[in-house]
Amino acid sequence: MTENANTQAAQTTREVWTLAEQEEGRLRPVSYELLAWGKRITDKLKGIDPERPAPLCSVVLGANVDRTDVQELIQHGADKVYVVEADGLERCLVEPYAAVLGNLLTERKPEVMIAAATSMGRTLMPYLAIRLTTGLTADCTGLDVDEETGNLVQTRPAIGGNILATIVTAHHRPQMATVRPHSIRPLERDEGRTGEVVEIEPDARLLASKVEWVGFRSVEQDDANVQDAEKVVSGGRGLKRAENFEVVRDLAQSLGAAVGASRDAVDRGWVSYPHQVGLSGKTVTPRLYVALGISGAIQHLAGMKTADCIVAINSDPDAQIFQVADFGVVGDLFEFLPVLKEEIERRKSEEEQA
Protein backbone atom coordinates (compact mmCIF):
# COMPACT_ATOMS: atom_id res chain seq x y z
CA MET A 1 0.00 0.00 0.00
CA THR A 2 1.00 3.62 -0.42
CA GLU A 3 1.26 5.79 2.69
CA ASN A 4 -2.14 7.35 1.89
CA ALA A 5 -3.78 3.96 1.46
CA ASN A 6 -2.25 2.71 4.71
CA THR A 7 -3.57 5.76 6.56
CA GLN A 8 -7.09 5.35 5.21
CA ALA A 9 -7.11 1.61 5.87
CA ALA A 10 -6.05 2.17 9.48
CA GLN A 11 -8.98 4.56 9.95
CA THR A 12 -11.61 2.08 8.73
CA THR A 13 -13.48 -0.35 10.97
CA ARG A 14 -12.83 -3.24 8.54
CA GLU A 15 -16.58 -3.73 8.41
CA VAL A 16 -17.81 -5.00 5.04
CA TRP A 17 -21.24 -3.61 4.17
CA THR A 18 -23.86 -4.92 1.79
CA LEU A 19 -26.86 -2.85 0.73
CA ALA A 20 -30.09 -4.79 1.22
CA GLU A 21 -32.95 -3.85 -1.10
CA GLN A 22 -36.55 -3.63 0.02
CA GLU A 23 -39.85 -3.11 -1.72
CA GLU A 24 -42.91 -2.22 0.35
CA GLY A 25 -41.02 -3.31 3.47
CA ARG A 26 -39.99 -6.77 2.22
CA LEU A 27 -36.41 -7.56 1.30
CA ARG A 28 -35.56 -8.64 -2.23
CA PRO A 29 -33.69 -11.94 -2.78
CA VAL A 30 -30.59 -10.13 -4.05
CA SER A 31 -30.07 -8.86 -0.49
CA TYR A 32 -29.10 -12.38 0.58
CA GLU A 33 -26.90 -12.97 -2.48
CA LEU A 34 -24.75 -9.96 -1.58
CA LEU A 35 -24.01 -11.47 1.83
CA ALA A 36 -22.38 -14.44 0.10
CA TRP A 37 -19.97 -12.04 -1.65
CA GLY A 38 -19.46 -10.20 1.62
CA LYS A 39 -18.58 -13.42 3.44
CA ARG A 40 -15.84 -14.17 0.90
CA ILE A 41 -14.37 -10.72 1.50
CA THR A 42 -14.49 -10.86 5.32
CA ASP A 43 -12.96 -14.35 5.34
CA LYS A 44 -10.04 -13.06 3.27
CA LEU A 45 -9.59 -10.00 5.49
CA LYS A 46 -9.55 -12.16 8.61
CA GLY A 47 -6.96 -14.42 6.99
CA ILE A 48 -4.68 -11.47 6.25
CA ASP A 49 -4.88 -10.03 9.79
CA PRO A 50 -6.57 -12.40 12.28
CA GLU A 51 -6.09 -9.93 15.13
CA ARG A 52 -8.46 -7.36 13.62
CA PRO A 53 -12.17 -8.19 13.40
CA ALA A 54 -13.85 -7.93 10.00
CA PRO A 55 -17.61 -8.11 10.64
CA LEU A 56 -20.06 -8.59 7.80
CA CYS A 57 -22.85 -6.02 7.95
CA SER A 58 -25.96 -5.29 5.95
CA VAL A 59 -27.74 -1.94 5.81
CA VAL A 60 -31.46 -1.56 5.10
CA LEU A 61 -33.08 1.76 4.20
CA GLY A 62 -36.86 1.87 4.16
CA ALA A 63 -40.09 2.31 6.12
CA ASN A 64 -41.88 -0.40 8.10
CA VAL A 65 -39.26 -3.00 7.15
CA ASP A 66 -40.33 -6.55 7.97
CA ARG A 67 -38.35 -7.62 11.04
CA THR A 68 -38.52 -11.28 10.02
CA ASP A 69 -36.59 -10.37 6.89
CA VAL A 70 -34.05 -8.49 9.01
CA GLN A 71 -33.43 -11.67 11.00
CA GLU A 72 -33.12 -13.54 7.70
CA LEU A 73 -30.12 -11.33 6.88
CA ILE A 74 -28.43 -12.55 10.06
CA GLN A 75 -29.36 -16.15 9.30
CA HIS A 76 -27.79 -15.73 5.85
CA GLY A 77 -24.48 -14.46 7.17
CA ALA A 78 -24.75 -10.91 8.52
CA ASP A 79 -23.07 -10.21 11.86
CA LYS A 80 -24.77 -6.84 12.15
CA VAL A 81 -27.73 -5.19 10.43
CA TYR A 82 -28.17 -1.41 10.33
CA VAL A 83 -31.88 -0.61 9.90
CA VAL A 84 -32.56 3.01 8.91
CA GLU A 85 -36.26 3.84 8.78
CA ALA A 86 -38.23 6.95 7.90
CA ASP A 87 -41.29 7.74 5.78
CA GLY A 88 -39.02 9.48 3.26
CA LEU A 89 -37.11 6.24 2.68
CA GLU A 90 -40.09 4.08 1.72
CA ARG A 91 -38.96 4.17 -1.92
CA CYS A 92 -35.51 4.61 -3.35
CA LEU A 93 -35.08 8.27 -4.30
CA VAL A 94 -31.43 8.93 -4.93
CA GLU A 95 -31.05 12.19 -2.98
CA PRO A 96 -32.35 11.09 0.44
CA TYR A 97 -30.90 7.57 0.06
CA ALA A 98 -27.46 8.95 -0.81
CA ALA A 99 -27.60 11.56 1.96
CA VAL A 100 -28.60 9.06 4.64
CA LEU A 101 -26.28 6.29 3.50
CA GLY A 102 -23.41 8.68 2.88
CA ASN A 103 -23.77 10.12 6.38
CA LEU A 104 -23.76 6.61 7.84
CA LEU A 105 -20.70 5.58 5.84
CA THR A 106 -18.82 8.69 6.96
CA GLU A 107 -19.64 8.01 10.60
CA ARG A 108 -18.96 4.25 10.69
CA LYS A 109 -16.11 4.09 8.15
CA PRO A 110 -16.50 0.56 6.70
CA GLU A 111 -13.73 -0.90 4.56
CA VAL A 112 -16.00 -2.08 1.73
CA MET A 113 -19.50 -1.24 0.51
CA ILE A 114 -21.17 -3.45 -2.11
CA ALA A 115 -24.60 -3.26 -3.71
CA ALA A 116 -26.40 -5.11 -6.48
CA ALA A 117 -26.17 -3.92 -10.08
CA THR A 118 -29.94 -3.44 -10.14
CA SER A 119 -31.86 -0.29 -11.03
CA MET A 120 -31.39 0.82 -7.43
CA GLY A 121 -27.69 0.02 -7.21
CA ARG A 122 -26.85 1.43 -10.63
CA THR A 123 -28.60 4.69 -9.76
CA LEU A 124 -27.56 5.16 -6.14
CA MET A 125 -23.95 3.97 -5.99
CA PRO A 126 -22.38 6.32 -8.60
CA TYR A 127 -24.10 9.29 -6.97
CA LEU A 128 -22.87 8.12 -3.57
CA ALA A 129 -19.30 7.58 -4.79
CA ILE A 130 -19.12 11.19 -5.98
CA ARG A 131 -20.42 12.44 -2.62
CA LEU A 132 -17.78 10.42 -0.76
CA THR A 133 -14.95 11.09 -3.25
CA THR A 134 -14.18 7.41 -3.60
CA GLY A 135 -14.03 4.86 -6.39
CA LEU A 136 -16.76 2.60 -7.71
CA THR A 137 -16.49 -0.44 -9.95
CA ALA A 138 -19.84 -1.17 -11.55
CA ASP A 139 -21.39 -4.41 -12.77
CA CYS A 140 -18.78 -6.77 -11.26
CA THR A 141 -18.87 -10.50 -11.90
CA GLY A 142 -16.27 -11.31 -9.25
CA LEU A 143 -14.84 -9.93 -6.00
CA ASP A 144 -11.70 -10.95 -4.14
CA VAL A 145 -9.08 -9.50 -1.77
CA ASP A 146 -5.40 -9.00 -2.56
CA GLU A 147 -3.53 -10.87 0.16
CA GLU A 148 -0.57 -8.48 0.12
CA THR A 149 -2.36 -5.12 0.19
CA GLY A 150 -5.79 -6.03 1.55
CA ASN A 151 -7.36 -4.12 -1.33
CA LEU A 152 -10.64 -5.28 -2.83
CA VAL A 153 -10.02 -6.89 -6.23
CA GLN A 154 -12.96 -6.17 -8.50
CA THR A 155 -13.52 -8.03 -11.76
CA ARG A 156 -15.88 -6.85 -14.47
CA PRO A 157 -16.34 -7.31 -18.23
CA ALA A 158 -14.92 -4.65 -20.55
CA ILE A 159 -14.63 -3.98 -24.30
CA GLY A 160 -18.11 -5.31 -24.95
CA GLY A 161 -17.53 -8.36 -22.76
CA ASN A 162 -14.49 -9.52 -24.72
CA ILE A 163 -12.09 -9.14 -21.78
CA LEU A 164 -12.30 -9.17 -17.99
CA ALA A 165 -10.80 -6.13 -16.29
CA THR A 166 -9.32 -6.24 -12.77
CA ILE A 167 -9.75 -3.02 -10.80
CA VAL A 168 -8.64 -1.87 -7.34
CA THR A 169 -9.39 1.28 -5.36
CA ALA A 170 -6.03 1.70 -3.66
CA HIS A 171 -6.19 5.22 -2.26
CA HIS A 172 -9.74 5.86 -1.05
CA ARG A 173 -12.24 4.30 1.32
CA PRO A 174 -14.75 2.82 1.37
CA GLN A 175 -14.02 0.60 -1.61
CA MET A 176 -17.31 0.35 -3.48
CA ALA A 177 -18.68 -1.99 -6.11
CA THR A 178 -21.96 -3.15 -7.62
CA VAL A 179 -22.30 -6.86 -8.39
CA ARG A 180 -24.49 -8.57 -10.93
CA PRO A 181 -27.60 -10.20 -9.48
CA HIS A 182 -27.59 -14.01 -9.64
CA SER A 183 -23.78 -14.10 -9.92
CA ILE A 184 -23.56 -16.10 -6.67
CA ARG A 185 -25.89 -18.24 -4.60
CA PRO A 186 -26.95 -17.07 -1.13
CA LEU A 187 -25.31 -18.78 1.83
CA GLU A 188 -27.26 -21.60 3.44
CA ARG A 189 -29.76 -20.33 5.99
CA ASP A 190 -28.60 -20.95 9.56
CA GLU A 191 -31.44 -20.49 12.06
CA GLY A 192 -28.96 -20.71 14.93
CA ARG A 193 -26.93 -17.64 13.89
CA THR A 194 -27.15 -14.57 16.08
CA GLY A 195 -26.24 -11.00 15.28
CA GLU A 196 -26.81 -7.40 16.24
CA VAL A 197 -29.61 -5.22 14.86
CA VAL A 198 -28.87 -1.48 15.08
CA GLU A 199 -31.94 0.73 14.70
CA ILE A 200 -31.16 4.21 13.35
CA GLU A 201 -33.49 7.19 13.00
CA PRO A 202 -32.03 9.53 10.35
CA ASP A 203 -31.82 13.28 10.65
CA ALA A 204 -34.94 14.69 8.98
CA ARG A 205 -32.80 17.21 7.08
CA LEU A 206 -31.25 14.33 5.12
CA LEU A 207 -34.62 13.26 3.69
CA ALA A 208 -35.17 16.27 1.42
CA SER A 209 -35.51 15.51 -2.28
CA LYS A 210 -36.20 17.50 -5.43
CA VAL A 211 -37.68 14.36 -6.98
CA GLU A 212 -41.24 13.18 -6.43
CA TRP A 213 -42.20 9.52 -6.72
CA VAL A 214 -44.94 9.22 -9.33
CA GLY A 215 -45.25 5.48 -9.92
CA PHE A 216 -43.64 2.36 -11.28
CA ARG A 217 -44.05 0.83 -14.73
CA SER A 218 -42.31 -2.42 -15.62
CA VAL A 219 -40.36 -2.48 -18.89
CA GLU A 220 -40.11 -6.28 -18.99
CA GLN A 221 -41.90 -7.52 -22.06
CA ASP A 222 -42.10 -10.63 -24.20
CA ASP A 223 -41.23 -13.10 -21.38
CA ALA A 224 -37.75 -11.55 -21.17
CA ASN A 225 -37.40 -11.68 -17.37
CA VAL A 226 -34.86 -14.48 -17.54
CA GLN A 227 -33.05 -13.47 -14.35
CA ASP A 228 -35.84 -14.64 -12.04
CA ALA A 229 -36.95 -17.68 -14.05
CA GLU A 230 -36.56 -21.17 -12.60
CA LYS A 231 -36.25 -22.62 -16.11
CA VAL A 232 -34.56 -21.04 -19.13
CA VAL A 233 -34.30 -22.27 -22.72
CA SER A 234 -31.68 -20.38 -24.74
CA GLY A 235 -30.80 -20.43 -28.42
CA GLY A 236 -27.59 -19.58 -30.22
CA ARG A 237 -25.92 -19.36 -33.62
CA GLY A 238 -26.48 -23.07 -34.23
CA LEU A 239 -30.12 -22.30 -35.01
CA LYS A 240 -28.80 -20.90 -38.33
CA ARG A 241 -31.59 -18.40 -39.11
CA ALA A 242 -34.13 -16.15 -37.41
CA GLU A 243 -37.21 -18.24 -38.18
CA ASN A 244 -35.59 -21.25 -36.52
CA PHE A 245 -35.54 -19.41 -33.19
CA GLU A 246 -39.18 -20.40 -32.87
CA VAL A 247 -38.04 -23.86 -31.71
CA VAL A 248 -36.58 -22.14 -28.63
CA ARG A 249 -39.89 -20.44 -27.85
CA ASP A 250 -41.76 -23.66 -28.55
CA LEU A 251 -39.66 -25.72 -26.14
CA ALA A 252 -39.76 -22.94 -23.54
CA GLN A 253 -43.55 -22.94 -23.69
CA SER A 254 -43.67 -26.71 -23.22
CA LEU A 255 -41.39 -26.48 -20.17
CA GLY A 256 -42.92 -23.33 -18.72
CA ALA A 257 -39.55 -21.62 -19.14
CA ALA A 258 -38.26 -18.17 -20.01
CA VAL A 259 -36.55 -17.56 -23.35
CA GLY A 260 -32.84 -16.76 -23.32
CA ALA A 261 -30.24 -16.27 -26.04
CA SER A 262 -26.54 -16.05 -26.72
CA ARG A 263 -24.96 -12.80 -27.82
CA ASP A 264 -24.67 -14.17 -31.37
CA ALA A 265 -28.42 -14.67 -31.58
CA VAL A 266 -29.09 -11.16 -30.28
CA ASP A 267 -26.49 -9.53 -32.56
CA ARG A 268 -28.11 -11.23 -35.56
CA GLY A 269 -31.47 -9.73 -34.60
CA TRP A 270 -33.19 -13.06 -33.94
CA VAL A 271 -34.32 -11.96 -30.48
CA SER A 272 -34.18 -8.75 -28.44
CA TYR A 273 -31.40 -7.79 -26.02
CA PRO A 274 -33.40 -8.37 -22.76
CA HIS A 275 -33.12 -12.11 -23.52
CA GLN A 276 -29.30 -12.10 -23.73
CA VAL A 277 -27.48 -14.31 -21.22
CA GLY A 278 -23.78 -13.76 -20.55
CA LEU A 279 -21.21 -11.18 -19.49
CA SER A 280 -22.71 -8.49 -21.70
CA GLY A 281 -26.27 -9.63 -20.90
CA LYS A 282 -27.89 -11.12 -17.82
CA THR A 283 -26.62 -13.63 -15.29
CA VAL A 284 -29.07 -16.43 -14.48
CA THR A 285 -29.17 -19.22 -11.89
CA PRO A 286 -32.22 -21.30 -12.81
CA ARG A 287 -32.94 -24.86 -11.72
CA LEU A 288 -32.85 -25.86 -15.41
CA TYR A 289 -30.92 -24.27 -18.27
CA VAL A 290 -31.31 -25.70 -21.78
CA ALA A 291 -28.80 -24.50 -24.39
CA LEU A 292 -29.81 -25.04 -28.03
CA GLY A 293 -27.10 -24.53 -30.64
CA ILE A 294 -24.87 -22.57 -28.25
CA SER A 295 -21.15 -23.30 -28.56
CA GLY A 296 -20.30 -21.99 -25.09
CA ALA A 297 -18.02 -18.97 -25.42
CA ILE A 298 -16.57 -17.94 -22.06
CA GLN A 299 -18.73 -14.81 -22.07
CA HIS A 300 -21.89 -16.92 -22.25
CA LEU A 301 -20.72 -19.53 -19.73
CA ALA A 302 -20.09 -16.78 -17.17
CA GLY A 303 -23.78 -15.89 -17.32
CA MET A 304 -25.29 -19.35 -16.77
CA LYS A 305 -22.74 -21.84 -15.39
CA THR A 306 -24.22 -21.63 -11.87
CA ALA A 307 -27.53 -23.16 -13.02
CA ASP A 308 -28.51 -26.28 -11.06
CA CYS A 309 -28.88 -28.46 -14.15
CA ILE A 310 -27.51 -27.61 -17.61
CA VAL A 311 -28.68 -29.47 -20.71
CA ALA A 312 -26.81 -28.77 -23.95
CA ILE A 313 -27.73 -29.81 -27.49
CA ASN A 314 -25.09 -29.15 -30.13
CA SER A 315 -23.81 -30.86 -33.25
CA ASP A 316 -20.16 -30.14 -32.36
CA PRO A 317 -18.81 -32.73 -29.88
CA ASP A 318 -15.98 -30.34 -28.93
CA ALA A 319 -18.26 -27.40 -28.10
CA GLN A 320 -17.24 -25.63 -24.86
CA ILE A 321 -20.81 -25.82 -23.56
CA PHE A 322 -20.33 -29.53 -22.88
CA GLN A 323 -17.63 -28.74 -20.30
CA VAL A 324 -20.25 -27.28 -17.95
CA ALA A 325 -23.27 -29.35 -19.03
CA ASP A 326 -24.79 -31.98 -16.75
CA PHE A 327 -26.42 -33.62 -19.77
CA GLY A 328 -25.17 -33.26 -23.32
CA VAL A 329 -26.68 -34.33 -26.63
CA VAL A 330 -24.39 -34.37 -29.67
CA GLY A 331 -26.58 -34.23 -32.73
CA ASP A 332 -28.92 -32.26 -34.96
CA LEU A 333 -31.16 -30.26 -32.66
CA PHE A 334 -33.86 -30.03 -35.34
CA GLU A 335 -34.12 -33.83 -35.32
CA PHE A 336 -33.84 -34.19 -31.55
CA LEU A 337 -36.23 -31.46 -30.39
CA PRO A 338 -39.45 -32.95 -31.87
CA VAL A 339 -38.70 -36.20 -30.03
CA LEU A 340 -37.93 -34.32 -26.81
CA LYS A 341 -41.08 -32.23 -27.04
CA GLU A 342 -43.22 -35.29 -27.70
CA GLU A 343 -41.82 -36.93 -24.57
CA ILE A 344 -42.42 -33.78 -22.51
CA GLU A 345 -46.03 -33.57 -23.67
CA ARG A 346 -46.57 -37.28 -22.96
CA ARG A 347 -45.32 -36.92 -19.39
CA LYS A 348 -47.37 -33.78 -18.82
CA SER A 349 -50.45 -35.64 -20.00
CA GLU A 350 -49.74 -38.53 -17.62
CA GLU A 351 -49.34 -36.12 -14.70
CA GLU A 352 -52.65 -34.43 -15.51
CA GLN A 353 -54.46 -37.79 -15.64
CA ALA A 354 -52.90 -39.06 -12.40
pLDDT at 34: 96
pLDDT at 1: 36
pLDDT at 6: 44
pLDDT at 78: 95
> Which domains, ranges and CATH numbers included, belong to the chain?
3-207 (3.40.50.620), 226-353 (3.40.50.1220)
pLDDT at 225: 78
Low-confidence residues of the chain: pLDDT under 70 = 1-11, 159-162, 217-224, 354
Going from the C-alpha of 49 to that of each of 109, 244, 342, the distances in angstroms are: 18, 57, 59
pLDDT in tens, 197-246: 999 999 889 988 888 888 776 555 555 678 888 999 999 999 999 999 99
pLDDT at 216: 72
